Structure 1
C-alpha cells in the first residue's frame, strides 16, 4: 500500500537520519565480527570505497538507479555501507583518536546542515544549473581516483579529498534544490518517491565525512 506524504522535506530528513543510524549500526557490527586484520587494509580499501560511492552518486543522478523504490533498500544499503566502512573508520580512530574523529563528524554534520539550510532558503530549482558541472566533475574525479590506485600518490590523495569535499558540498545544494523542485512539481507523493533523494543526501554526507577525515589525517601527519 502506498502512503501519501504530507511534508516531504521533513520526511526526507527523518529517513536520512535513520539511514545514518543504520550505517553506524553496520559499523559496530563490522567492528564486532570482522577480523582486526581488515583495519590494516583501510588505506587500500578507502580508494575503492570512494570509487563505489562516486559510482553510486553518478548512477543515482542519471536514472541508472530507479527514482522510486522501497525505503527498505536504502536502509539495507546504508547498513551494508556501515559494515564496509568499519576498517576505514577504525583506521581514522587509531590514527587521529576518538576525540578528533567525533569533532570531524560534528563538523561534517554542521557543514551539511548549513549547506542544506542555504539551499532550502533559495527558490525551488535554484541550484539545478550546477548539475552538468557536478556530473562532469564527478566523472573526472572518478578517473583521477582510478589512476591514483596505481600511482599511490599521497599528494594526489589529498587533492582528491579536497576536490571531493567541494563537489559533494555543491551536491548538497543541488540535491536540496532538486527536492524542492520535485515537491513543487508534484513529483513526490508517497514514501517510495523519497528514497532516491534520501540515498543521494546520504552519499553526499558520507563523502563529505570521509573527505574531511582524510584531509585532517593528511595534515595531522
Structure 2
C-alpha cells in the first residue's frame, strides 16, 4: 500500500514516515504543493493543508479532480469547523487535527481503505487448474478431492481467488481477511504456509517478491 505524505515540517514528516513504514506502508514524502501534484500515483494521501508554496485545499481539490477513488486524509493544525467543512467539501475523505496519535491515524487509514478498496465483482465459484473454490458454500476441492481449511485459511484463499492471476499486496490481503493492515509480524505468512500444505499443491499460491501473493491461473 503506497502512501503520499504531504508535510513541510521535516521533523514531523520524518517521524510519520518512520512509523508508517514500520506498519508496512511504502511512503513517498512531498514537502510542497508542487511536489505533491507531481508525485507518482499512490493509494492514499496524507495531506497537510499548510504548505509553503500553496494552499493544501487547492492541492486536495486538484487531486480529487484527478481521481474519485483516491483516498485523501487531511492532516493539519487547522481545527476550526469551517476548515473541516471546507476540506471535506473539496474532496478529503477524512480530517485529522494535529496533534494526533499514530493509533488514531492508523485506525482512520484502515477505515478509509475499507471504504475505497475496489474489488472485482464477486464470483460464486472459481476454477483454476486443479483448484475449485465455491465462495458461497465455502468449500475447496483440489483434483476433485475436498480440502478442509480453517476459516482464516479459506478467507486468505478467497481473497486471492476473487482476482486470480493478480498479485495482491500483503496489506490488501490483511485488510480483506483481518480488517487491518497491522497484524502480527508473520500472521499472513503462517496462514499461507499452512494453506499451501493443505492444498497439496503449494505452487498454486505464488509468492510475488516485494509485493505479496498471487493465485496461479494455469
TM range, normalised to the smaller chain? Answer: under 0.3
Greater RCO (Cα-Cα under 8 Å, separation 6 or more): 1
- Greater C-alpha Rg: 2
**TM-score, L = length of structure 2:** 0.28
